Amino acid sequence: MADRRRINGPPAGTRPPVYASLKESKTGVSERTLRQRQPTELRKFYLKTGMIPTASGSSYLEFAPSAALAAARSNPKSLIPPSSALKVACTVHGPKPLPRSVPFSPNLLLTTHVKFAPFAARKRKGHVRDTTERDLGVHLETALRGAIIAERWPKSGLDITLTIVEAEDDRWWGDAPDSHDASWGMLNVLAGCITAASAAIADAHIDCLDLVSGGVAALVSDDASTAPRLVLDVDPAEHRSIQSACVVAYMPARDEITELWLKGDSSRAALEKSDGRTGHEALIDGAVDAARGANTILTDAVRESIARSFAQV
Amino acid sequence: MASSATTGNPMPPSLSMPPSQFARLQPHAYLRAHLSPPSSDQPSVRANGRATSQFRVTSVNTGSLTHANGSAVVRIGDTTAVCGVRAELLHTSDISSWGVSQAPSKQNPTNTNEAKDSKSEDEDDQGQIQDLNLLVPNLSLSTGCAPGLTPGAPPSALAQSLSHQILSLLHTTNLVRADDLRIWYQPPNFDSEEFHNPGEGMEVDTEQSGGPEREIKAFWVLYIDIMILSMAGNAFDAAWASVLAALRDTKLPNAWWDDDNETILCSDDFAEAHRLTLRGLPIASSFCCFEGDAAAGWRANVIPDAEEQKKKKGSQQKWILADPDGYEEGLTQERACVVVDKENGKTIIVKMEKHGGWNVDSDDLRKLVDVSSQRWDDLKQALEQC
Amino acid sequence: MVSPILSQLNRPDGSAAYKCPATGYNILGAVNGPVELPARRDALKPEEATVEVFVKPGTTTAGVAERYVEGILRSVLGKVVLGREKGFPRRGVIITLAIAGGENMDRGDSYLTILPSLLHAALLSMISASVPLSMTFSAALFGVTKTGDIVRDPSPTAAKASVSLHVFAISSKGHLLLNESEGRFDFDTWELVHQRALSVCQGTASADGDVTMGEGAASASLHGLIREAVEDQIYSDYAYKLDSI
């Protein structure tokens, strides 16, 4: 049954284009660009609040394009982008009275919606929210609920909407999905969503315990012989395979984690001999470090938001 | 606010309040007070500081999205629209009515380059684009762009009607050429020498005339998705401008029918990709009509005749506001939209609509067309700069 | 010309069947109002009636195009209904228009060809339901051919072939209530079509006296047709009174 509320494409469906030159490309894109950053070096990102004046609070987060992507943009050779850079727009509406149908609540009720734009990823996304998007929404809600002081707004609701204009890759585009493959890009998206939502909530002047920010760390193996090593802020397109990855939502002032999501097998980490930590401990510590790094940019963005609201008064 | 803190003062507290409060409590009177000029020789200024026929600052940015064939971000004041165009393939073998509806003789494209603006080709184009659903625009408002629109809900009536308006305008303006979307295939000439080596023979065959007829193997389908990230009035102008800019930015890869794999293959070479050649540059300008006396319909049920209304001079009764923001849209019911294009300096109206009231008459519409053609120049500049 | 039939249906407060002779569209309209809309409590306006329009295509379920045309009809009819009369504020006037016959609308079609029929059916249904109106109106479709001729009520095939299509709704007092034009045209052409629309709807000889002659004396103005339809209905409704006189 076609969706009567949208304009539909051809009834038989369409196929995404298949590129002929995956193996012997003339344009030289068939080589994976490897990670240039240090294992503990984070990607730069841009975070700005108040971009959407119709909302109570809003923010826009954009990751700096990787070197390969930046080169492909300035001097395009191939139509296949080497990697992607996360772009998230976040709006916060509220606190507002709950609709009549909702029963009494002594706390602020949080609703989170994460939606990918149809053109966000390599594969075209549908208009209806799929399980991935719902899953991200639930994780995000958990991450934020721990930071918001909800009892200050009884009988109220807060709508947080995130639009993913451009998502992260799950793997390098030329790789076939293998056995221990998962949607690694989703972890990066979640970390970005947490940071963006945190900025938007602060922009909407909602009381929080602390600014919560997201961070990702991963155990990656670039060749099969060596044990996987720990890198912070992983870009899945830059690695041959990711063994395990972890995203946290972290509040630095209180040293608290509000959300933790760990995927994959973290038992075979290549750590220093003196390091007594297990693989997953190292992974979580790495993710927390990444979140700390993101927090500095978040703090600047929020400071700017406050300066703007003071200027208005 | 002045308070009566000075003890013993019998004066009541002052009734002054900041303009922002006034704007919320008495929106109609607030806008009217702004628009009524202090003296008759001064022009009206709107609450947002613009002149009545002034548009908001418009910025266009294209090609910033990695995974779209063409993309654009258009900001008109506080309204932001992001448009991404994704191209996918529709094989003619997937079209159930293909063999029936298409006579092979009709598909001869030899005259496309010479007779680009001939009406018959236009019609043929439109027929194929429309019948096969090759353009699929969808607008989404559920991005939290405005407080009233619940995110995650199915498209509201407004979103649906905006999507339809965009599709309808794409069809009536014939903006996209069907020939840009066709993927042709020249079957190898099996009588000729190259029969044993069809892969190499293909390019040679295209030059020959005696072989089998060229046929369409597939079409590009353009999924045009518009996300309104921020909605502060006049969503249609922003959405249409973003569609136009994204289509101008769209690059389709070079694609061909591969006889061995029986599928369409594309080249990822940027140099081989082609841009769409659009027909004209239709640009939309929206207006709303603010009635000075909102209570007129409340008090008097008798509405004067159109002729009488025209003769009645005196205090101004209506203001036509270009590019209304969200506040102004909430205070007006009458809307007008003019889509114009220019050809050799001559203004051509592509679409004109007005409804929701009776204050805008044909004289006003003539002025709106002039304003729209000025807007065309401004927006063309913005589109070409990016 | 087939005269419209008023108050054909028993259940709704008012109804009308309108068949456009030229385009062949057959519209069945039904109006309920004023009615309580408990489900829409948040959307109801405190001072006036809420006008809701539903358009049901004959062969499929309603889609995006219907949402669009409903929006246009709502804004035109909402202005004409005296929604501040006693009993109307905080209530709804619900207009349902079913397209019972005629060409099907394709995906992305502009709906211009059917718009006059929908407007007429809606107006007559509202009159049948005794909804107070500030004015009546009539609407007409015009096509401009390649040679620049203005054709009134072109058939769907002729409408497809025309360079531009125009729909005008002119109120009984001469206001321009609605204009929808598309195609390629300049303002002078539009003005000509507008003049023609005024003469077709009002039936008065405009500056160009020939136009009214060209329509033929037999086919009266559209306003006249609407009026006749209502008069006929009143005559038959009160036939018992007339007989007793």
Which CATH number characterizes residue A102's domain?
A: 3.30.230.70
CA distance A35 to A151: 45
| pLDDT for B7 beyond 60 | no
Residues in a beta bridge with B351: B339, C182
Question: What average pLDDT is seen over chain C?
Answer: 86
What range does the domain containing A129 cover?
45-312
The answer to whether the bond into A82 is cis (omega within 30° of 0) is no
B 221-240: CB under 8 A from C = none
- B351 contacts C75? CB cut-off 8 A: no
Q: CB of A206 within 8 A of CB of A16?
A: no
CA of C72: which chain B residue's CA is closest? Answer: B355
Centroid of chain to Cα A33: 21
CATH architecture of B58-106+116-196+210-279: 2-Layer Sandwich (3.30)
Report the gap between the CA of A235 and the closest CA in chain C (Å).
Answer: 40
**B134 and C CB contact within 8 Å:** no
Tokens of A195: 């940071």
Query: Which helix or strand (DSSP H or E) is residue C150 part of?
Result: strand C150-152
- Which position has the token pair 């498209």? B155
Q: Is the pLDDT of residue A298 over 50?
A: yes
Give the pLDDT of residue A170.
86
* DSSP H or E run through C14: strand C14-19
Residue C139: the pLDDT is: 94
User: What pLDDT, on the 0 to 100 scale, is given for residue C93?
Assistant: 94
B164, exposed or middle or buried, with CB in 10 Å at 0-12, 13-18, 19+?
buried
Asked if residues A72 and A110 have their Cβ atoms less than 8 Å apart, the reply is: no
Render pLDDT for A155-213 as a digit per residue (tens, 0 to 9).
999 999 999 999 998 888 877 666 556 788 999 999 999 999 999 999 999 999 999 99
Backbone angles phi, psi at B182, to 5 degrees: -85, 145
Best-predicted range by mean pLDDT (B183-187, B309-313, B359-363, B372-376): B372-376
Burial of A113 per CB tally in 10 Å (0-12, 13-18, 19+): buried
Judging contacts by C-beta atoms under 8 Å, the chain A residues touching residue C62 are 4
In this predicted structure, what is the pLDDT of residue C214? 41
Q: Does residue C216 register a pLDDT over 50?
A: no
Alpha-carbon distance of B245 to B243, in angstroms, equals 6
> pLDDT > 90: what percent of chain C?
48
Verify whether the Cβ–Cβ distance C173 to B305 is below 8 Å.
yes
pLDDT the model gives residue B271: 87
pLDDT of C237: 86
A6 CB contacts (<8 Å, ≥6 apart)? A127, B138, B155, B160, B163, C64
Please report which confidence band the pLDDT of residue A267 belongs to, taking 50, 70 and 90 as the band edges: confident
Number of compact structural domains in chain C: 1
- B172 touching chain C per CB within 8 A: yes
pLDDT number for residue C83: 85
Domain range for C30 is 5-244
- Domain annotation covers residue A62: yes
Write down the pLDDT at residue B299.
52
Nearest CA in chain A to B165: A7
Q: Is residue A156 part of a domain?
A: yes
With beta carbons under 8 A apart, name residues in chain A contacting B89.
14-17
How far B166 CA sits from the closest chain A CA (Å)?
Answer: 10
Q: Please give the tally of structural domains in chain A.
A: 1
Give the distance from residue C71's alpha carbon to the nearest chain B alpha carbon, in angstroms.
Answer: 8
| B225: phi then psi, degrees, rounded to nearest 5 | -110, 130
* pLDDT confidence band for B310 (50 / 70 / 90): low
A10: contact with C, CB 8 A cutoff = no
DSSP letters, B5-69, are TSTT--SPPP----HHHHHHHSHHHHHHHHHS-SSTTSPPB-TTS-BTTPPPPEEEEES--SSSS
Question: Is the pLDDT assigned to residue B130 strictly greater than 90?
Answer: no
| Positive or negative: CA dihedral A135, A136, A137, A140 | positive
Is residue B372 scored above 70 in pLDDT? yes
Distance CA C19, CA C117 (A): 7
Domain chopping of chain B, boundaries: 45-54+285-385, 58-106+116-196+210-279
For residues C229-244, give the mean pLDDT.
Answer: 86
Q: How far apart are the first and last CA of chain A?
A: 53
- Paired residues of C18 in beta bridges: C27
Select from A78, A92, A119 the Cβ nearest to the Cβ of B84: A119
- Are A117 and B142 within 8 A, CB to CB? no
Tell whether A13 is covered by a domain.
Answer: no
Q: Diameter of chain B by CA atoms?
A: 113
| ipTM here | 0.92
CB B164 to CB C64 under 8 A? yes
- Would you state the structure tokens that stand for residue C232, as one six-digit string? 């006929």
In a domain, A131, yes or no: yes
pLDDT, tens digit, 9 for 90 and up, residues A98-138: 988 889 999 999 999 999 999 999 889 888 888 999 999 99
- Whichever domain contains C221, its CATH number is 3.30.230.70
* Amino acid B70: pLDDT: 95
Amino acid identity of residue A15, one-letter, is R
Question: Does any domain span residue A300?
Answer: yes
Question: Which chain B positions have a beta carbon within 8 Å of A160's beta carbon?
Answer: 144
Q: Which amino acid type is present at position B184?
A: W
Please indicate whether, in this complex, the C-beta atoms of C108 and A5 are within 8 angstroms of each other.
no
Report the alpha-carbon angle B279-C106-C102, nearest 5. Answer: 130
Mean pLDDT of C31-40: 85
C 105-134: CB under 8 A from B: 106-110, 134
pLDDT higher than threshold 90 for residue C143: yes
The arithmetic mean of pLDDT across residues C165-188, rounded, is 93
How many beta-carbon pairs under 8 angstroms link A with C?
Answer: 12
Instruction: Decide the pairing of beta strands B215-230 and B135-140.
Output: parallel
Query: What's the pLDDT at B9?
Result: 56
Average pLDDT, chain B: 82
Q: Among C142, C169, C5, C201, which Cα is nearest to C77's?
A: C169
Q: Is the pLDDT of residue A245 over 90?
A: yes
Close Cβ partners of C60 (under 8 Å, ≥ 6 residues apart)? C104
- Reported as a pLDDT band with limits 50, 70 and 90, residue B111 is very low
- Residue C210, pLDDT > 50, answer no
| Strands of A241-251's sheet in order across | A229-232, A213-221, A241-251, A256-264
Residue B265's Cβ-side half-sphere holds a number of Cα atoms within 13 Å equal to 11
Residue-wise pLDDT tens digits, B195-254? 445 444 444 444 445 567 888 999 999 999 999 999 999 999 999 999 999 999 999 999
B79-91/B58-62 β-pairing: unpaired
- Structural domain includes residue A289: yes
Kindly report the backbone phi and psi dihedral angles of residue B332, in degrees, each rounded to the nearest multiple of 5, phi listed first. -130, 155
